[in-house]
Structure 1
Amino acid sequence: MGGVLSYSGLSTKIRAMQSRLTTMNQFEEILQLADVQQVAAYLKRMPEYSSKWNSLDETTLHRGQIEKLLKKSIFQNFSRLYHFANPEQRKFLDLYSSRYEIRVLKEVMTNIFDHRATDPVDVSPYRDFFRHHSKIDVDRLTTCATMEELINSLKGNEFYHPLCKIQEHENALLFDYGMALDLYYFTQIWNLKKKLFSGKDLEEITRTYGEKFDMLNLQFIQRSKRCYGMQPADIYALLIPMNYKLKKEEITAMVEAPTEEESRRIFQKTWYGAKYDKLSIANLEEFYNYILRTVLEKEAHRNPYSVAMIYSYLYHKEHEVNRLTIAIECVRYGVAPAEAIEYIKNN
């Protein structure tokens, strides 16, 4: 799948798209603006958004509309990459796109548990994506008022069985359904990687997703013990059933550690505790984005003609939208720019 020739066109496209992502200097300028309308006007002048937003009147745009437009840009850019990708590269994009389907399913499930109807307008950013890259009828999802209706609407889809298993349990929570989708997605990536990739692409997928899954498991263990006081058996049920640099015996030791001090001691002896001097049990969540971003940037820089380049761009695009959403909220509520920029850097 890898190689200069097979990636040359897509690599050139991604470099051009990456150059239009919002820089930290631009975030600082945005945070100096007086209101949301000024932010909309600023974004309209940026190359990333100018062509699609040119006809919009920024004086009438409210926060919710801007956030929908930002979300839509993720799916528009994904489709642009898909158009340029060859059949082999599309295998990764097809696998990656499941995360977008899960995002929408979680939004609909949240509304169901909150006893709120899903407004068809709320799924408007996703409609074109689902039409071209998914077998799920997104408009049918908006008509579902119960989890039974939602799950039945997914018959024949890969997400049907994971959700059915959770439905068998009485008093299943929104968290349980969301976790079932995440675990299914992560397991699919790990199990399919050797079938879809080889050579450097396989090495990079293993490294980037391997560290991601290890870090998520570390977070799950820490949060479950510290915030919820969960028993080991319940914690094991939440963990992604795979490991990379984190050994199985280390996971077991941390899950069953009787005290936080013992858990910290075990963590410091792991590959992650030794590699990252500033990483500790206490700041796992803060460092998660930093470590993943660092790994992706390093792999994309070292092998610009590989699957790492695709993954890195999609990651950075999604985080750009998250950061712009935070910036808009900070401007809206008058958060001091110095404080707001820290929220953005930590995302």
Structure 2
Amino acid sequence: MGKLLSYSGISTKIRAMQSKLITEDQIQEMLQFTSTSHAAAWLKRTPEYSKTWASLDENSLHRGQIEKLLKASIFNNFSKIYQFASSEQRKFLDLYSRRYEIRVLKELMTNLFDHRDTDPVDLSPYREFFRRHSNLDLDALTACKTMDEFINALKGNEFYSPLSQIQNHDTALLFDYGMALDLYYFSLIWKVRRKLFSGKDLEQITKAYGEKFDMLNLQFIFRSKRYFSMAPADIYALLIPMNYKLKKEEIRAIVEAATYEESQQLFRRTYYGKKYEHLSAHNLEEFYNYMLRSTLEKEARRDPYSVAMLYSYMYHKEHEVNRLTIAIECIRYGVAPDEAMQYIRNN
């Protein structure tokens, strides 16, 4: 009864927000438009965007501005949920919000590696969110001109340590810095989950993130072997250091397989290869999105008064924004609706 009461208010709020998310049928309707301004006008009439976009002139919005507005809606909705959340639920949301901080850090690092000046306006979708939910100093970070300055500006923040370790390597690439942040975040989730959750919440978080990490590791292993012919030692260094349904000996066998074809055969013997007979190394990325979405939907339906409900909503909101962004881009370049839907469904 205690759990039901603690989740009842936020569950009602999220159900109301969920009902406003853009459906696939609605996206197909939007793809019939031939200009981004018409698409923006259509979005302004939907329940999800009508209130926050009411004062905007769709005729003056270009594609980049629309994408920023869509991105901002993720953070606005996160803040709405946070206001309704209990102290226990906020522990999960605080953990989840690290992904947004890492997203911004990656964008800023990309500009530094490209030797571009970072335009503060580009960070407008994040500013209000960061003011409420982050200790990162965006102004100090955007003022940096080099990676050394950038990393030094993070001293005292949790992200300083993983980035400073990469900084010591003269050949470090943008990929290395991004991977260091991802590995830190994933390791943090796996490490603290037992401290933050118990009972059904712990079971759901372990399942959702465990399958996610397994699939991400499989994707990286197969991409590394198929496209880059990476040595096993280099592959191991970039894997998420945890296991769920994939056994350590299975990962070792796949990584050290002599050929890509041999690694595919070894994959068939794993938990995922046996459970999903149609799954192969070639369609892992597409299947990863499907499996994560299905797992979250199933867990949220089975127990709507749980942390799975929070995770499921945020995932679907981000998924909506990704699909709408692709749709806007397809409209801009005149991609036929049927072809555009193929790109959107693969996301």
Do Structure 1 and Structure 2 share a fold, with TM-score over 0.5?
A: yes
Identify the residue that residue 28 of structure 2 maps to in structure 1.
28
Q: Distance in 2 between matches of 1:117 and 1:55?
A: 31
Pair 1:325-2:319 in alignment: no
Identify the residue that residue 252 of structure 1 maps to in structure 2.
252
CA RMSD of aligned residues (A): 0.9
SS at 2:49's partner residue? helix
SS at 2:314's partner residue? helix
Identify the residue that residue 280 of structure 2 maps to in structure 1.
280
1:266-318 alpha-carbon deviations (Å, 9 max, x no partner): 10110001111221111111111001101111111111100000000000000
Q: Distance in 1 between matches of 2:294 and 2:341?
A: 19
Q: Distance in 2 between matches of 1:9 and 1:147?
A: 44
- Whether the aligned pair in 2 keeps the contact of 1:2 and 1:305 (CA below 8 Å) is no
Q: Distance in 1 between matches of 2:3 and 2:76?
A: 26
What letter is aligned with 2:121? V
Q: Which residues of 2 match residues 164-243 of structure 1 at below 5 A?
A: 164-243=164-243
Q: Which residues of 2 match residues 1-347 of structure 1 at below 5 A?
A: 3-347=3-347
- Whether the aligned pair in 2 keeps the contact of 1:2 and 1:199 (CA below 8 Å) is no
Q: Distance in 2 between matches of 1:2 and 1:139?
A: 43
Q: Distance in 2 between matches of 1:221 and 1:138?
A: 34
Inter-CA distance 2–220: structure 2 relative to 1 (3 Å threshold): farther
Provide the TM-score with structure 1 as the length reference: 0.99
For structure 1, which runs of at least 5 residues remain unmatched after alignment? none
- Whether the aligned pair in 2 keeps the contact of 1:75 and 1:126 (CA below 8 Å) is yes
SS at 2:279's partner residue? coil
Q: Distance in 2 between matches of 1:247 and 1:13?
A: 39
Q: Distance in 2 between matches of 1:75 and 1:324?
A: 16
Q: Distance in 1 between matches of 2:102 and 2:145?
A: 18
Q: Distance in 2 between matches of 1:68 and 1:259?
A: 43
Provide the TM-score with structure 2 as the length reference: 0.99
1:242-262 alpha-carbon deviations (Å, 9 max, x no partner): 010000000000000001221
Q: Distance in 2 between matches of 1:21 and 1:12?
A: 15
Q: Distance in 1 between matches of 2:42 and 2:327?
A: 12
Q: Displacement of 1:2 after TM fit?
A: 7.8
Q: Distance in 2 between matches of 1:280 and 1:262?
A: 13
- Whether the aligned pair in 2 keeps the contact of 1:2 and 1:200 (CA below 8 Å) is no
Q: Distance in 2 between matches of 1:95 and 1:102?
A: 12
Give the percent of matched residue pairs that are identical in Structure 1 and Structure 2. 73
What letter is aligned with 2:192? L
Q: Displacement of 1:169 after TM fit?
A: 0.6
Q: Displacement of 1:345 after TM fit?
A: 0.9
Q: Displacement of 1:10 after TM fit?
A: 0.4
SS at 1:145's partner residue? coil
What letter is aligned with 1:30? M
Q: Distance in 2 between matches of 1:211 and 1:101?
A: 23
Q: Distance in 2 between matches of 1:324 and 1:255?
A: 36
Q: Distance in 2 between matches of 1:2 and 1:221?
A: 43
SS at 1:3's partner residue? helix
What letter is aligned with 1:49? Y
Aligned pairs, number: 347
Q: Distance in 1 between matches of 2:281 and 2:53?
A: 43
Q: Distance in 1 between matches of 2:151 and 2:261?
A: 43
Q: Distance in 2 between matches of 1:200 and 1:170?
A: 46
